[in-house]
Amino acid sequence: MKKQAPYRLYLPENELPRQWYNLRADMPRQPDPMINPATGKPATLEDLTPVFSTELVCQELDATTRYIDIPQDVREMYKLYRPSPLIRAYNLEKYLGTPAKIYYKFEGNNTSGSHKLNSAIPQAYYAKAQGITALTTETGAGQWGTALAEACAYYGLDLLVYMVKVSYQQKPYRKAVMKTFGAQVIPSPSDTTQAGRAILAENPDTTGSLGCAISEAVEKAVTSPGTRYVLGSVLNQVLLHQSVIGLEAYRALEVLDEYPDTVIGCAGGGSNLGGLIAPFMRDKLLGKNNTRFIAAEPATCPSLTRGKYAYDFCDTGKITPMARMYTLGSGFIPSPSHAGGLRFHGMAPILSKLYHDGCMEAVALTQARIFEAATLFARQETILPAPESAHAICAAIDEAIRCRESGQAKTILFGLSGTGYFDMTAYMEYQEGKLQDVPPTDAQLAAGFAALPQIPQNEGI
Amino acid sequence: MKKQAPYRLYLPENELPRQWYNLRADMPRQPDPMINPATGKPATLEDLTPVFSTELVCQELDATTRYIDIPQDVREMYKLYRPSPLIRAYNLEKYLGTPAKIYYKFEGNNTSGSHKLNSAIPQAYYAKAQGITALTTETGAGQWGTALAEACAYYGLDLLVYMVKVSYQQKPYRKAVMKTFGAQVIPSPSDTTQAGRAILAENPDTTGSLGCAISEAVEKAVTSPGTRYVLGSVLNQVLLHQSVIGLEAYRALEVLDEYPDTVIGCAGGGSNLGGLIAPFMRDKLLGKNNTRFIAAEPATCPSLTRGKYAYDFCDTGKITPMARMYTLGSGFIPSPSHAGGLRFHGMAPILSKLYHDGCMEAVALTQARIFEAATLFARQETILPAPESAHAICAAIDEAIRCRESGQAKTILFGLSGTGYFDMTAYMEYQEGKLQDVPPTDAQLAAGFAALPQIPQNEGI
């Protein structure tokens, strides 16, 4: 007989994973390699090490090592907030009257408020280990910048965060959190880089963009001694680090003698979803389960459900290598929405490949629906979710309702990637009926696709 | 040999306490009873039941029952966020170079962001069990209102929160959180009560006060059918519920074969401190330990270190019963500070008595010091503390430094009562060097004491 699951299951500290899991090692069909736009050829170690720490580039390019040791110093910092709890949503189940069992892996119980810390820590650690003294990055909503500021404070690295100017002005609290952890936060565009000065010369009143902030952060990294650039999503290395989410969830479900029939996560760049599904997808690829995987994305930025599978730049500034992924075009600007972490034009190459091969499904959800789900969830489970995470909640509720209708007692696992404490403006707009959902028009999408890189690999797309 | 403590120790769910501990049952010298100002005599069940739920009044007046069962329905909701972790501050210890072991009990990992939920839940539960359909309360900074909104959403009670108008305007995010949980939030003074209308008639532009909000909430409760008022601190019943903090900490330290030499908590109304120290103070009163207890209070509102032990009203409106406690006078207005939860003129009668009898010490700390401690703590331990909790951190760091100087390897336990996500304005003022500390002048204190109730019990004070 199965044990009654507690509300919250915390694995003991000594069950914190000792290795990350590299899903690529078990993918029979590999994602296509990144391409260096300067050479038109797959990006090499030499192409990437001026920008990223060497060990991270090695991880980025490693498609064969199945398990990679988590350095002891990284595990020590992980222990400050991990293992994170696996929670049984008893109250939500009861409210929905569903025979399904709903579990969620909660990554919000740390000051960064999300799973972002899982990759910020190793990225800061490897930089430190290499003798690098400073990191640069960009941040929009501020969650990634906060996570990285925590990690840099811990390892004693300087951190320069280029924060999109409009966010810098609208989200002073996020900025203050980063400063508490010792980060320097600069509104972008700024006069600290050539890229920033050029944009300011052309348009002094611009409120900035993520593309511009990336350009500034990369330029600063490659032109400053002992400095590297770091990125919080999309990359293979980031999904590798985030596998700690899935590995813990897998082990916790094992303790409970459970296995998920459906695994659901929100998807922006893909780091949270990619990390959560990793070990369950391994089982699927090895023919050991029949689990469904669902990516929940915003209707305003539907890269999987309405994008094209093509080579594209990861940034609007077109300075990064090109990756083959589902994309809306690197110039695509989604209509305003409050799920800032999901407003990325593309999707991690690993997830794009799995989706392309039919191993994963995707749904696009409106803000009206996800805030309704978030509010219901908060009242039943007492956790205030981030708008991003609310996409996963909404898809999980939909699945639980289908179970009620079909009478199937499925086991559902979803990722609750973060909390919404810094998103109350969004909740207020929902409460006041002011939320808008403007999905892209067909013409907008066509314009985005027309701007895809004209390279041989994209022919016929 | 002692086991190596993990960073975070979570007791399993089945070790969640089954009973609260009533410290009064072990106090050889009892706190003086509350006095009904209308009769001049100790407040009775009959005096208090029109305002509070009956079971809560029974708990308020019960000085003899040592352990009181936690109702099963309350334990079910506790399980949504408890047991809370006991954390070993390894990084802080290392940074300070202290031989002391520092442990902290972290109560911030729930959406209310503080320990307040521990009492909000039973208060809502007992109201529901009695057939009451609605609760009223006041809130300043909003933490208590948020906790109560969560509890009322869970038990299906209506909640009306009178929020001090200036906070309502300055803290729209807190208001939005309460609304997410279904509470109705009204800026006070309002036209929904006689008290509010009278104040507005006199001064239409007033930004309100906690005293006024209490008056409105109590009036609304006693004039509305099926409605009761609830309070989040100071009262005996609240300290009883909060004993769950101390009981869990006690058990967790037992698991680690540890016992604290010093227990430290921040003190405003006293609910967090009173809950944390309860079982350790029991041991002291029974002669079983030589532990020091330290209350950390703000220099701007130093009720223990500079107040008088006298009968006083719990509210500025003078409508509540009088309690014998350390007080600065119910009309005392502390200079602005960011530790909103500690800006109360008095101190819980139980704690006041213990302090008066020499069982507990107190220190008063400036904002400059506590934000310095908060920032240091965040960088070492990755948790962003509430300004209130930072008082306990600061006092714990002081104690750890004394240990470094004396070479004593003491075991320190402090309460980290909450997180600072909604206090970033305060952090920003600290970062910009704008914080001010204005302790009360002797003349201010004298005026506060002169306004103490002129009753026989206060003669000679």
User: Could you report the per-residue pLDDT of A200-232, keeping only the tens digit for each?
Assistant: 998 898 888 877 888 899 999 999 999 999 999
Residue of chain B nearest A384, judged by CA positions: B111
Question: Considering CB atoms only, which of A13, A179, A375 is closest to B6?
Answer: A13
Distance (Å, whole) CA B200 – CA B189: 7
Q: Do B383 and A111 touch (CB under 8 A)?
A: yes
Question: Is the predicted pLDDT of residue A339 greater than 90, yes or no?
Answer: no
Question: Considering CB atoms only, which of B13, B384, B425 is closest to A111?
Answer: B384
Q: What is the pLDDT of residue B2?
A: 66
Question: Is the predicted pLDDT of residue A1 greater than 60, yes or no?
Answer: no
Q: Do A177 and B10 touch (CB under 8 A)?
A: no
What integer is the mean pLDDT of A334-344?
A: 79
- State whether residue B96 is helix, strand or coil: helix
Question: Is the predicted pLDDT of residue A2 greater than 90, yes or no?
Answer: no
HSE-up of residue A330 (Cα within 13 Å, Cβ side): 23
* Residue B157 · residue B124 · CB < 8 Å: yes
The tokens for A421 are 């404490």
Q: Does A44 touch chain B (CB under 8 A)?
A: no
- Give pLDDT tens digits for A268-314: 999 999 999 999 999 999 999 999 999 999 999 999 999 999 999 98
Residue of chain B nearest A421, judged by CA positions: B421
Mean pLDDT of all residues in chain A?
94
Residue of chain B nearest A183, judged by CA positions: B379
The tokens for B292 are 């020091």
Q: What is the pLDDT of residue B148?
A: 97
Question: Considering CB atoms only, which of A91, A109, A431 is closest to B109?
Answer: A109
Distance from CA of B77 to the nearest CA of A (A): 9
CATH 3.90.1150.10 fits A10-16+80-113+237-454, yes or no: no
Distance from CA of A146 to the nearest CA of B (A): 11
Distance (Å, whole) CA B163 – CA A431: 18
Q: Does A15 touch chain B (CB under 8 A)?
A: no
- Chain-centre distance of CA A235, in angstroms? 10
Pairing outcome for strands B19-21 and B308-313:
unpaired
Q: Do B379 and A154 touch (CB under 8 A)?
A: yes
- Give pLDDT tens digits for A111-144: 999 999 999 999 999 999 999 999 999 988 788 9
Which of B110, B169, B382, B423 would best serve as a mutation to test chain A binding (most A beta carbons within 10 A)?
Answer: B382
Distance from CA of A227 to the nearest CA of B (A): 21
Residue of chain A nearest B83, judged by CA positions: A8
Amino acid in the structure at residue B461: I
Q: Do A8 and B6 touch (CB under 8 A)?
A: no
Q: How many C-beta neighbours within 10 Å does residue B30 have?
A: 13
What integer is the mean pLDDT of A178-206?
A: 93
Q: Do B8 and A79 touch (CB under 8 A)?
A: yes
Distance from CA of B328 to the nearest CA of A (A): 33
Distance (Å, whole) CA B331 – CA B316: 5
Q: What is the pLDDT of residue B394?
A: 98
Question: Considering CB atoms only, which of B8, B91, B427 is closest to A180?
Answer: B427
Ranges of residues in chain B whose predicted pLDDT is under 50: none
Q: Do A111 and B382 touch (CB under 8 A)?
A: yes
Give me the residue spans of the domains in chain A: 10-16+80-113+237-454
Distance spanning both ends of chain A, measured CA to CA: 53
The phi-psi region of residue B335 (left if phi > 0; otherwise alpha if psi is between -120 and 50; otherwise beta) is: beta
Residues 398-437 of B with CB under 8 A from A: 419, 421-422, 424-425, 427-428, 431
Q: Does B158 touch chain A (CB under 8 A)?
A: no
If you write DSSP's letter for every residue of B233-281 in order, what string do you get?
A: SSSHHHHHHHHHHHHHHHHHHHHTT---SEEEEE-SSSHHHHHHHHHHH
Strand stretches in A305-391, DSSP E? 308-313, 322-327, 361-365
Chains A & B: contacts with CB separation below 8 Å: 113
What integer is the mean pLDDT of A257-266?
A: 98
Q: Do B427 and A110 touch (CB under 8 A)?
A: no
Q: What is the pLDDT of residue A415?
A: 98
Question: Is the predicted pLDDT of residue A240 greater than 90, yes or no?
Answer: yes
DSSP state of B429: H
What integer is the mean pLDDT of A169-174?
A: 86
Residues 59-118 of A with CB under 8 A from B: 77, 79-81, 91, 109-111, 113
Q: What is the pLDDT of residue A372?
A: 97
Which of A382, A427, A432 would best serve as a mutation to test chain B binding (most B beta carbons within 10 A)?
Answer: A382
Distance (Å, whole) CA B168 – CA B196: 15
- Reported ipTM exceeds the 0.90 cut: yes
Pairing outcome for strands B8-9 and B86-88:
antiparallel
If you write DSSP's letter for every residue of B174-213 in order, what string do you get?
A: HHHHHHHTT-EEEEES-TTSHHHHHHHHH-TT----HHHH
